[in-house]
Structure 1
Amino acid sequence: MKLNRLLLRQTLKKFSRINGNILHRQSDVKSNVTRTFVAAPSFSLLDPKFSRCSSIPVENLELCKSNSIFSRCIHFTATKFSDTAIEPKLESSDVEDQDGSMNEFLSRFVWIMRGKISEAFPDYDKQTVDAMLLMIVEKVVSEMEKGSFEQSLRTSTDNPDWDLSEDLWKTVSEVSNMVLDDMKKATKKEKMKGFLLSEEVQEMCRFAGEVGIRGDMLRDFRFKWAREKMEESEFYESLEQLKKEANASPSGAEAAASVEKSEPVSIPKRRGKIKYKIYGLDLSDPKWSEVADKIHEAEEVIWPQEPKPISGKCKLITERILSLNENDDPSPLMAEWTGLLQPTRIDWIALLDKLNDKNRFLYLKVAELLLNEESFETNIRDYSKLVDVHAKENRLEDAERILKMMTEKGITPDILTATVLVHMYSKVGNLDRAKEAFDTLRSHGFQPDEKVYNSMIMAFVNAGQPKLGESMMREMEARDIKPSKDIYMALLRSFSQRGDISGAGRIAATMQFSGISPSLESCTLLVETYGLAGDPDQARNNFDYMIKIGHRPDDRCTASMVAAYGKKNLLDKALNLLLQLEKDGFEPGVETYAALVDWLGKLQLVDEAEQLLGKIGAQGDAVPLKVHISLCDMYSRAGVEKKALQALGVLEAKKDELGHGEFERIINGLIAGGFVQDAKRVQGLMEAKGFTASQPLQMALRTSQALRGRRLP
């Protein structure tokens, strides 16, 4: 920056006059001094908001209190600084806000211009720089008094008739626009702080904390909610302004134009003398520099960054990234985008949000690539978020790949990540990994919540260990966390499938103590439990109790009761039960007929079983798998080769639906009928599914081979 000769001559000439009269004037300053000027850091010390900033050192606060600096505006008196004393004077309340904005603008302007001049003229001493600043400020204030300064900044970058060189005018214009932008941002930040402390935002934050959202995620949500409230408020304010302008003006377009022209921060639009006094321009005390740095650091923490504006070639590349297909590789475009924009984390997050709205699969691919991007500043939450997304969409391999990348980076799973892993591994039935993640939670001192407990209980249930699930449920109850009805029913169902009478009874009793009334399903499960355990009398007691409390037996419950009688071959009691139910309007269904077919098949009553099979077909329902198992066993033992092989073919086609016990029954039936080769083939299917034949079955196969068993003719 170059100063023209005229400015330099005026500066040196006036410097001799103001040296002793302005720069070193202290307590004896006359009351008729006409100008006050504040030189401040990049923030305004006249703004009362800084009186609430916790980042100001204690010693500086004490200094401020002694001179009432932060009470309403900051006064630098001659008793504290040898060459600085500021005392704003306001003529009336009508111009108070205007003078406040003026002081704010001049404070920032002088601070930045001092640095510009010092950089351009490093050899000049402080007094000469102060004199140059006085000349520049006089020109600026003169134009402000005319009311044409801000218009000059907006309309043209050419040098107006200010007696300033072209380079100096460009610098003045650049600094002025910079100050105005900073003032607008500061006003927006202050408005945002008010919404951050609003009752609605605080209530949403409290709710988010209760559901487990904490740390950086809660902070991001808080700013998002506050920003939405601020935008909503600004929208309604603009509507009110439009309404007022429309009432005042016949043209709605004029009202809209006036709203667009209104700015939250601007230089006061008034003519006449500006009331301020200049006693000096030195605010370069190191203490105030420290205050400025700390305040800026505090604002960086509480104020979220905004993404960089995207334009030109970078915008075109962004559109190309958003238009990629699922199978395309986004790496080349991402590298080019990075080179052009030099993005920070907030820029990457903005791009990910756009991808998530448009292409979910591409979003996951780009998010995974960004884990190795240095400018993305990857943290543990980025890993856990991706793992959670893949886990919820049942992509276990992708989730474990992200988890492996995380461990390779030396990042240990924290509480949130471990919680995600508990849910994921419980959902897919990997009990060992679920227990490992659960132990990780406890090692961090985290008390599991209801969702974590439910996931672990279901993991135990799915792994066939209902007793461990029950112990986890007791732990929940000890912590006054009431299990849901679904958890009780899952445990009761697991005990019932194993015929565990004591376990099922404990769960049923606990449900009643918890205030959960017996349902048709819970009563049916108890009937099935006693039936599998071979106790038809207790099964009938539960069956009658179910009717007594008002539940009408359905087809499944009746079939369970028939199967319980079938365990002890009590055919007469089963027939009496069916006759009694038919009198009450009950009609047997597929489940009941299937239980009777299985019973008659074991008794080798082929004709009677086939009659019941015809009734199943008459109802139009598909024959259940367990009926085909019963038929295969019956026909094999009866030596009906054709029908036995036909039923076996159906079972081989549905081998993935067969369990360990069902495989053993089929093989035992084939061996009993002499179909040894077919039995060996089914054993191979059984082992291919991971089942191991029991010791009696292995002995039966070896015995049949030793006797060279053959198919019956």
Structure 2
Amino acid sequence: MSSSSSAPPSWSLSFSSSPSLSSDNHRRLHRINYGISSSRFQLRCAIRSVAAPTKKKLWKQGEYPGDVSGNSSFDRNKRRTPIKNIKKKLDRKSDLNPWVNTVTQALSDSIDAKQWLRALEIFKMLKEQRFYQPKEGTYMKLIVLVGRCGQPQHARNLFNSMIEEGLEPTAQTYTALLAAYCRSNLINEAFRVLEQMKKLPLCQPDVYTFSILIKACVDASQFDLVESLYQEMAERSITPNTVTQNTVLAGYGKAGKFDLMEKVLLGMLDSTSSKPDVWTMNTILSLFGNAGHVETMERWYEKFRNFGIEPETRTFNILIGAYGKKKMYDKMSTVMEYMRKLSFPWTTSTYNNVIEAFSDVGDAKNMEYTFDQMRGEGMRADTKTFCCLIRGYANAGLFHKVISMVELAGKLDIPENTSFHNAVLYACAKADDLMEMERVYMRMKDQQQCRADATTFAIMVEAYKKEGMNDKVFDLEQEQEMMLRLPSI
């Protein structure tokens, strides 16, 4: 659903409300008042440029520019001919330029807007014009665009067309083609491109080529291929950079291979070419924090600080989120106070982490207080904010407020993605309103950008099992298997 659609009329949740709320609330976060002073600067410049009159040059005989004959009088025909030709060229150029500028600008706009199909149509039209000249840069931008939009076959077609038009491929264009396959999880095709590159002396793979391929292997949990790529890089004297190592760190962490993750990290600490940075710091803290290993997270935080890496706003948000999940509200509040002290702004993510902490335990009072403070400071709520609020009210049994939050999200044009619908499904299941749950699910299926995921089916299956509706459970499981076989959007 687009953000501009009117949500309240279509969202008409009907489950009953239960205003009960536990009186055992957690300690409220202290509001930290701060002021941000702003000053305005005005820059006034007065630049006056007076053009001095140019004195007319009185040329002597034989010294007029271009007069190689020594005669100052020129043949009129010799003077008129180039002027006439120049006028013709200018006329042709003036007739041509509006069209050239229009179509090239349209192509550039389509690429910037990531409208791959429109970009290809305009490019095809451009190639039919007599002024068209093939350029590697244009092909490069188009290959990158269609690759990012999950169109690897179009990337290959563009690459082949580029060669047919006489342009020599480079390591960069080969890498762009390889990246297109990687983004669509076509790892075998990507390796074939790598083999083609290795056969061409002027198109040898570099650290960026290997980094892209390593990331694809990490995302696919094919860690044996990662090790073989590392070995090949060593044989070619290509040193992994920090970006490459951060990618592998995240992959090992998500797969629960913490021993391998720490091995890579220790190697980075001893390296001269892939030193850890704040992104490394955030990756490690996030992995341990999400896994609930708070003490390990804190130890690594101190190690990174001792190594000279300074935290950023995202670093503090990761700490707040980890403490919130473990219900360590004192530490969560301390980090927020520390952010104020160091003049780090509280962001939407900061507030979302706090709201989520209270949402998980159904602490509606502190959740509302945080949300009110967020809006009071002019911070814009996003989809995650409302997902947390909806789940929080559902956990507190305040289902009438769930409806209010759904309506408010519509008024604020909050994008309704899969996570948003899952939160509403969760609230319906909590209220034992299966009819409303099914209605929300049907609405979800009507929207392409809200494709059901594993969480969607888990919520609904649990709700049906609770009511002993085994036939519904079977139908959902069959539907889930069928959706898993469909290509991702």
TM-score (norm 1): 0.42
1:387 aligns with 2:139: yes
2:63 aligned to which of 251, 255, 260:
255
Shift in alpha-carbon separation, 1:251–1:698, aligned structure 2, 3 A = same
Q: Deviations over 1:45-85 (max 9, x none)?
A: xxxxxxxxxxxxxxxxxxxxxxxxxxxxxxxxxxxxxxxxx
Q: Is the 8 A contact 2:359 2:395 kept in 1?
A: no
Secondary structure of the corresponding residue to residue 667 of structure 1: helix
Equivalent residues of 2:221, 2:255 under 8 A apart: no
Alpha-carbon distance change, 453 to 605 in structure 1, aligned in 2, over 3 angstroms: same
Which structure is richer in relative contact order (CA contacts within 8 A, separation 6 or more)? Answer: 2
Residue 351 (structure 2) pairs with residue 621 (structure 1): no
Offset at 1:554?
A: 4.7
The structure whose residues are more often helix, as a share, is 1
Correspondence for 1:368: 127
Across the two proteins, how many residue pairs are aligned to each other?
Answer: 371
Q: Which residue of 1 aligns with 2:454?
A: 693
Q: How does 1:564-643 map to 2 (within 5 A)?
A: 564-571=322-329, 574=332, 578=335, 581=338, 589-590=346-347, 591-643=349-401
Which secondary structure state, in structure 1, belongs to the residue aligned with residue 381 of structure 2? Answer: coil
Q: 2:245 aligns with which of 483, 488, 491?
A: 488
Distance 1:558 1:612, change over 3 A: same
Give the letter for the 1:640 counterpart.
L
Please give the alpha-carbon distance, in whole angstroms, between the structure 1 residues aligned to 2:374 and 2:99: 51
Per-residue deviation, 1:518 = 3.9
SS across alignment from 2:354: helix
Change (3 A) 1:390 1:261: farther
Alignment of 1:268-307 (within 5 A): none
CA RMSD of aligned residues (A): 5.2
Corresponding residue of 2:437: 679
Contact 1:419 1:441 survives alignment (8 Å): no
Give unpaired runs (5+ residues) of structure 2.
1-57, 71-83, 104-118, 471-489
Counting aligned pairs with the same residue, the percent is 16
Determine the structure 1 residue equivalent to 2:270. Answer: 513
1:644, distance to aligned residue in structure 2 (A): 0.8
Distance in structure 2 (CA, Å) of the matches to 1:498 and 1:254: 85
Q: 1:535 aligns with which of 293, 298, 314?
A: 293
The one-letter amino acid of 1:702's match is Y
Matched, 1:416 2:156: no
Deviations 1:95-132 (A, max 9, x none): xxxxxxxxxxxxxxxxxxxxxxxxxxxxxxxxxxxxxx
> Which stretch has the larger CA shift, 614-623 or 588-597?
588-597
Aligned equivalents of 1:537 and 1:615: distance in 2? 30
Structure 2 residue aligned with 1:436: 189
Whether the 8 Å contact between 2:143 and 2:158 is mirrored in structure 1 is no
CA distance in 1, matches of 2:251, 2:429: 31
TM-score normalised by length of structure 2: 0.57
Aligned ranges for residues 158-169 of structure 1 at < 5 Å? none
Is it true that 1:522 corresponds to 2:296 in the alignment?
no
Aligned-residue offset at 1:481 = 1.4
Q: Secondary structure at the match of 2:283?
A: helix
1:622 match: secondary structure: coil
Task: Using the TM superposition, give the Cα deviation of residue 597 of structure 1 relative to its aligned residue in structure 2, in angstroms.
Answer: 2.1
Query: Matches of residues 229-244 of structure 1 in structure 2 within 5 Å?
Result: none
Aligned counterparts of 1:543 and 1:611: Cα–Cα separation in 2 = 30
Report the CA distance between 1:688 and its aligned residue.
3.6
